[in-house]
A and B are shown apart, each in its own frame.
Chain A
Amino acid sequence: MSYVAIADRDHEQEHHDPDTFITKYIWSQDHKVIAIQYGLTAIFVGLIALGLSAMMRLQLGFPDEFSFINPENYYQFITMHGMIMVIYLLTALFLGGFGNYLIPLMCGSRDMVFPFLNMLSYWVYLLSVIILIASFFVPGGSTGAGWTLYPPQAIMPGTPGVDLGILLMLASLAVFIVAFTMGGLNYVTTVLQARCKGMTLMRMPLSVWGIFIATILGLLAFPALLVSAIMMIFDKTLMTSFFMPAISSMGADPGYTGGSPILFQHLFWFFGHPEVYIVALPAFGIVSDLLSTHARKNIFGYRMMVWAIIAIGGLSFIVWAHHMYVSGMNPYFGFFFATTTLIIAVPTAIKVYNWVLTLWEGNIHLRVPMLFSIGFVFTFIHGGLTGLFLGNVTIDLPLSDTYFVVAHFHMVMGVSPVLVVFGAIYHWWPKITGKMYNETLGKWHFWMTFLGTYAIYLPMHYLGFQGVPRRYFSMGNTEFMPDSAQDLNAFITISALFVAATQLLFFINIIWSLMRGPKSDPNPWDATTLEWQTPDHPPKHGNWGHHLPECHRWAYDYSVPGYEDDFIPQNVPADKAPAGRDHGGEH
């Protein structure tokens, strides 16, 4: 990469600006364009996954009414829905999308430090998406092994997509990991090396902190998925026995010798649990900034929030086996993993208290991003509390294979991060496009989504306590389930279809905004962070015109006494505005 340090580039900025349509929007090395490419691709596959969940719900709510859903493609829907939502939507959107857009702008840099690598990261990600989608169309269809892809069933006859489907899935994951590593090294290096003058680590907005630590988690955890994917490809194609035990398949001996399916589970969850926080930490960071901005109040306990993010990140590596209680393990291990799991509740609770305390006596503006942020605090608390149930071995064992778990993880890492995604898109939409959206439509979108998700997931907890098993195509004549369980399932399906349909409001809103929306103010929320202080609106290539910004204060100088405005941007020098909230009291 022949990369000219942009610092030396100020005077020759003009020569480097992309000028054709192709270099500006397709093969672009501008972090903002790459962010939008990542975002659009992720949302596109996310919509496919949403459609798959609607099909699953149709079957569960109204069994045998729809002839086009059979057990095989039901399992394919489950698998692809889970994998797409967790990896190809949320991971890509938070890190590739928001990470790309926000890191350089919030840190006061002109771009990522390796723009070419950044572009490559997106195109390799797109390749992984294409491989994934191709698996829908190969003979046998996509894999139906469940998103955890547990062997031996993932690669044994009887599972849908056992031939090409599973291989394409594993190949797509491997390609995704390569793309993520290229992007991730870029994000980390940019945060460490390309911050503007005065932007110390402890002055970075929490959004950047969340994305930064999540990227580090991803860089260290994704190799576990890569290792297990490669080993499973070997087991499938070369007949090695890394994971495949001596097993007979339909009366025949496929030729495997004593491999360990549990080994796969260890590797998978060694990635899988940090993955939860790869999705959650950026959401934590972004929601902190949204709450603070729209409550016109500094974030409560900034340093504690930073250290909570770091602590959660570290702890997330030593809890993975709580996903494997039902696989059986030494009771001491179970005790260990239950303890570490419950310890994570401490830094997480600190964050929740701090969000609530940020709102306390704030000047709360219930704009659309704020509604989504407060909605997140609700759904995250509910999903987190059921996590405390499931972290205990004795409670997990009976509940693990029921709807209770489905409700838990959808609340905590489905609905919660998605609410933050919406909040963040509404919040930064004016900056990205220079247009405003329709506030009323946005509020309708929030309330129908927020209440609708409760209509979906609250009854699921109850079904779980009843023992209704997850993963089942149809329930059959099971004695312990009352008939009313089916009525509830039909209700959940109707709610789910309703929530899915209300997402149209979002798309109508942003398309309307792009075409007809009024021009937005450069800083419509009166926010302090640097991305709102760019000379151009929306920011152009290079972000800062001729002079890089200088950072003089933290990102949370809201409602500082003695200053005319209720916010002081980070680039306002200390001699032009009060030098910080508690400056006088610190002596």
Chain B
Amino acid sequence: MEIGLIALALILATLLGWLLRQSFNTQPWVAEQVSDTAHHGPLGDDSNTRLIALLGLLAVVTSFFALIFSAYALRMELGDWVPMTEPQLLWLNTGMLILASIAFQWTRNAAINGIRSRLLPGLLVTGVLTLGFVLGQFVAWQQLQNSGQGITVNPSNAFFFFLTGAHAVHILGGLYVWGRATIKVIMGNSDGAVIRRSIELCTIYWHFLLLVWLILFGLLLST
């Protein structure tokens, strides 16, 4: 469970540091005039609110994957574990996911600089690359299944399918949000700030899932 604990410790330490800054040396029992620094506004700045909700979601997803990694490490120690050979196709898929992240970053920069003409091509390229990644993963599962390396053969196979499947589901969830952002751009009647905010948040999510994939892939390769 060390991996789970380390991930958790990082999340909790971040939270704790922030809470300390909020509460250190305050005297809550003293009433005083409201100072402007002491509030975030009635419903907060909307983009900030969404960013915080996204960061919260990323913490949950981090916990989810860290716990599967923990289970992986614990299960690996048992006698029946036979390391499996990962399909070579995963390298290609990894490349596509990296490119998708780069494309999203490029789109985001365009959105921030107000270059609206670049948004749709950027989003479409990102979408195609990401879909390519998911399809590639699907093909890899098929290859394994056909070569007699199905999910029941060995726990290492079972974990392979579970981990890559869970990651793919998170990518598909991201694609849903990407789809909404893309439709907004195509319809062209949304506020520029709204679109920019969606794209910014999506980019963070894409980079995060790329990071999860790289760690996951590294774990699979090294064991």
Instruction: Tell me, yes or no, whether A binds B.
Output: yes
Q: Is B187 an interface residue (CB 8 A)?
A: no
In this assembly, does A347 line the interface, its C-beta being within 8 Å of a C-beta of chain B?
no
What chain A residues lie within 8 Å of B74 (beta carbons)? Answer: 260, 263, 266
A306-B30 in contact (CB<8A):
no
A193 touches B44 (CB 8 A): yes
Verify if B52 is at the interface (C-beta below 8 Å from A): yes
User: Measured between alpha carbons, how far is A314 from B20 in the docked complex, in Å?
Assistant: 14
Do residues B42 and A113 form an inter-chain contact, with CB atoms below 8 A?
A: no
Across the interface, A226 reaches (CB within 8 A) one of B46, B64, B152, namely B64
- Contact among A202, A298, A317 with B22 in the assembled complex (CB-CB below 8 Å): A202
Contact A241 B1 (CB under 8 A): no
The answer to whether A201 touches B29 (Cβ under 8 A) is no
Asked if B53 and A6 sit within 8 Å, CB to CB, the answer is no
Interface string of A179-221 (1 = CB under 8 A from B): 0010011101100111111111111000000000000100111
B153-183 CB mask vs A (1 if < 8 Å, else 0) is: 0110011001000100000000000000000
- Whether the Cβ atoms of A234 and B151 lie closer than 8 Å is yes
Q: Which residues of A contact B127 (CB under 8 A)?
A: none
When the two chains form their complex, are residues A5 and B43 in contact, meaning their CB atoms are under 8 A apart? yes
Shortest CB distance A158–B (Å): 23
Q: Please, which residues of chain B bring their CB within 8 A of the CB of A556?
A: 29
Q: Majority SS of interface residues in chain B? A: helix
Q: Do A227 and B68 touch across chains, with their CB atoms under 8 A apart?
A: yes
Q: Which residue of A lies closest to B80 (CB)?
A: A258
A12 proximal to B (CB < 8 A): no
Count of residues in A whose CB is under 8 Å from the partner chain: 82
**Residue in A227, A263, A552 whose beta carbon sits within 8 Å of that of B64 in the complex:** A227
B57-A302 in contact (CB<8A): no
User: Could you tell me the distance in whole angstroms from the C-beta of B79 to the nearest C-beta in chain A?
Assistant: 6
Contact of A110 among B40, B42, B80, B159 (CB under 8 A): B42
Q: Does B11 sit within 8 A of A, measured CB to CB?
A: yes
Let me know if A267 and B44 touch, CB within 8 A.
no
Contact between B28 and A302 (Cβ–Cβ < 8 Å)?
yes
When C-beta atoms are compared, the residue in chain B nearest to A217 turns out to be B12
- A51-59, A145-153, A579-587 - interface stretch: A579-587
Q: Are the CB atoms of B162 and A579 closer together than 8 Å?
A: no
The closest CB in chain A to the CB of B150 belongs to A238
Stretch of B31-39, B114-122, B129-137, B202-210 with 4 or more beta carbons under 8 angstroms from chain A: B31-39
Asked if B46 contacts A5 (CB within 8 A), the reply is yes
Cross-chain contact of A199 among B31, B39, B60, B78 (Cβ < 8 A): B39
Asked if B67 CB lies within 8 Å of chain A CBs, one says yes
Chain A residues with CB under 8 A of B151: 234, 238, 240
A398 CB within 8 Å of chain B? no
Set B8, B53, B79: member contacting A185, Cβ < 8 A: B53
B43 touches A7 (CB 8 A): yes
Write out the residue numbers on chain B whose beta carbons fall within 8 Å of the beta carbon of A524. Answer: none
Contact A198:B71 (CB < 8 A) given known A226-B64, A551-B34: no
CB-defined contacts of B22 to chain A, threshold 8 Å: 200-202
With A196-B42, A266-B1, A574-B32 in contact, is A189–B49 under 8 Å at CB?
yes
Complex Cα distance, B151 from A486, in Å, reads: 51
Chain B residue with Cβ nearest A570: B31
Residues of B within 8 A of A181 (CB): 57, 60
* A258 near B57: Cβ-Cβ < 8 Å: no
A77 to chain B, nearest CB (A): 31
A75 CA to B107 CA, complexed, in Å: 57
Write the nearest CB–CB distance from B20 to chain A, whole angstroms: 10
Give the chain B neighbours of A270 by CB distance below 8 A: 1, 4, 67
Taking a contact as CB atoms under 8 Å apart, the answer to whether B53 and A198 are in contact is: no
B215 at the interface (CB under 8 A from A): no
Q: How far is the CB of B14 from chain A (nearest CB, A)?
A: 11
The chain A residue sitting closest to B12, CB to CB, is A314
Q: How far is the CA of A108 from the CA of B12 in the complex (A)?
A: 27
- Chain B interface residue number, banded: 35 or more
Identify which of residues 264-288 in chain A touch chain B, using a CB-to-CB cut-off of 8 Å.
266-267, 270
Residue of B nearest to A575 (CB): B33
Instruction: Give B42's nearest chain A residue, CB to CB.
Output: A7
Enumerate chain B residues within 8 angstroms of A302, measured Cβ to Cβ: 28-29
Contact A113 B12 (CB under 8 A): no
Nearest-CB distance from A309 to chain B (Å)?
A: 11
Contact between A259 and B53, CB atoms less than 8 A apart: no
- Distance in angstroms from B49 CB to nearest chain A CB is 5
CB-CB under 8 A from B28, the residues of chain A are: 200, 202-203, 302-303, 554
Residue A223 CB within 8 A of the other chain = yes
* Residues of chain A with a CB closer than 8 A to B46's CB: 3, 5
Residue interface mask B74-107, A partner, CB < 8 A = 1: 1100111000000000000000000000000000
A223 touches B60 (CB 8 A): yes
The smallest C-beta distance from A47 to any residue of chain B, in angstroms, reads 31
Docked-complex contact A241 and B80, CB < 8 angstroms: yes
Given A260-B78, A306-B23, A552-B32, residue A110 in contact with residue B59 (CB < 8 A) = no
Task: Establish whether residues B34 and A552, one from each chain, have CB atoms under 8 Å apart when the complex forms.
Answer: yes
* Inter-subunit contact A200/B31 (CB<8 Å): no
Smallest CB separation, A115 vs chain B (Å): 11
**Least Cβ–Cβ distance between B74 and chain A, in angstroms:** 5
- Within the assembled complex, what's the spacing in Å between the Cα atoms of A241 and B159? 10
B142 interface residue (CB < 8 Å to A): no
B53 closest partner in A (C-beta): A189
Tell whether, in the assembled complex, residue A239 and residue B53 are in contact, meaning their CB atoms are under 8 Å apart: no
Given A220-B11, A220-B59, A113 and B71 contact (CB-CB distance below 8 Å): no
B55 CB to nearest chain A CB (Å): 9
User: Chain A contacts of B128 at CB under 8 A?
Assistant: none
Let me know if B31 and A194 touch, CB within 8 A.
no
Is A364 part of the contact surface with B, judged by Cβ < 8 Å?
Answer: no
CA distance A242 to B156 in the complex (A): 9
Q: How distant is A228 from chain B, measured CB to nearest CB, in Å?
A: 8
Is the Cβ of A314 less than 8 Å from the Cβ of B42? no
Knowing A6-B43, A193-B52, A314-B16, the reply to whether A242 touches B71 (Cβ < 8 A) is yes
Do B38 and A198 touch (CB < 8 A)?
A: yes
Instruction: Tell me whether A573 is interfacial, beta carbon within 8 Å.
Output: yes
A579 to B79, CA, bound (A): 68
Cβ A193 vs Cβ B49 within 8 A: yes
B5 — which chain A residues lie within 8 A by C-beta?
A: 317-318
Inter-chain contacts of B159 with A (CB < 8 A): 242
Question: Which A-B residue pairs are the 8 nearest by beta carbons?
Answer: A193-B44, A553-B31, A258-B80, A198-B34, A223-B64, A240-B158, A7-B42, A580-B30
28 contacts between A and B (CB under 8 A): A3-B46, A7-B43, A186-B53, A188-B52, A189-B53, A194-B42, A194-B49, A198-B38, A203-B28, A220-B8, A230-B166, A241-B80, A242-B155, A246-B80, A257-B154, A257-B155, A258-B79, A259-B155, A260-B78, A263-B71, A266-B74, A306-B23, A317-B5, A554-B29, A574-B31, A577-B31, A578-B31, A580-B29
List A residues at the B interface (Cβ < 8 Å): 3, 5-7, 108-110, 113-114, 181, 184-186, 188-189, 192-203, 216, 219-221, 223-224, 226-227, 230-231, 234, 238-242, 246, 255, 257-260, 263, 266-267, 270, 298, 302-303, 306-307, 310, 314, 317-318, 548, 550-554, 556-557, 568, 573-575, 577-583, 586
| Additional A-B contact list (16), CB under 8 Å, known A181-B57, A186-B53, A240-B158 | A181-B60, A189-B52, A193-B44, A194-B42, A194-B49, A197-B42, A200-B38, A223-B67, A240-B151, A241-B152, A255-B152, A257-B154, A267-B71, A298-B29, A314-B16, A582-B30
